[in-house]
Amino acid sequence: MKIHYLCAYYSQWAHINLAPRPNELWQSYKFCGAVKHGKMNGYLTVPFKKGPQRINEQDAAKTRLIFGRFIAETVRLHYQGNALVPVPSKDSFSQDDFRSLTMLQSAVPDDLDNPIVPAVRFVSNLLPASQGGLRGVDAVYPHLMVSEHFKPRPVVLIDDIITTGGTILAAKQRLEERGFEVSAAIVCGRTVAAAEKAFFPREFELLQEQGEVDL
């Protein structure tokens, strides 16, 4: 499965246990967090081609607009006609407007015609992975469902940060069982364990075994 991503996300665990983040990875770490939560502390700097742009905490929503432009450019180039499906956050179990859905809604530009289709949700009340919740496609898969309100069509999955890819792969599996065609996924940040270019659009192939967790 092809994954398009904008940033390298060097986690706090890697920062503490492997090597300290260089400054650029600090910026992308804060950027991905602001996209995910819609807020941040302090400020960050995005290295645009026309020059670096400082984003202050009161303007944290700008990070979502930047991610939204990346989504729009990728979709227009490769996935015309695809609907956008947010990879469900854990609060989709109890919230109609769950976090990853509202993130996507506030990110995409108004002139992008591709509809947002919140077709996949959690059906169990699970802890976030960062708090010890389930990881891996086989563990997550039983706790997802696809709504019957949406007709099958080609879709692109959208998420904030990908680590193992377990939830993305589980959502893909559920959608394809219902007749949807999952073309690819677009995410803001990919978790990395070594320093790499912080802000740079790129892609990789997510294999099924990468979404599995060794026990």
Is 150 a residue whose pLDDT tops 80?
yes
Write the Ramachandran bin of 180: left for phi over 0, alpha for psi from -120 to 50, otherwise beta. Answer: beta
Q: Tell me how far apart the alpha carbons of residues 5 and 190 are, in angstroms, rounded to a whole number.
A: 7
Which domains does the chain carry? 2-202 (3.40.50)
Interval 61-105: pLDDT, tens: 999 999 999 999 999 999 999 999 999 999 999 888 999 999 999
Q: Tell me how far apart the alpha carbons of residues 99 and 112 are, in angstroms, rounded to a whole number.
A: 21
Interval 106-145: pLDDT, tens: 999 999 999 999 999 999 988 777 777 777 899 999 999 9
pLDDT at 210: 60
For the CA atoms of 64, 141, 129, 97, the dihedral, rounded to the nearest 10 degrees, stands at 40
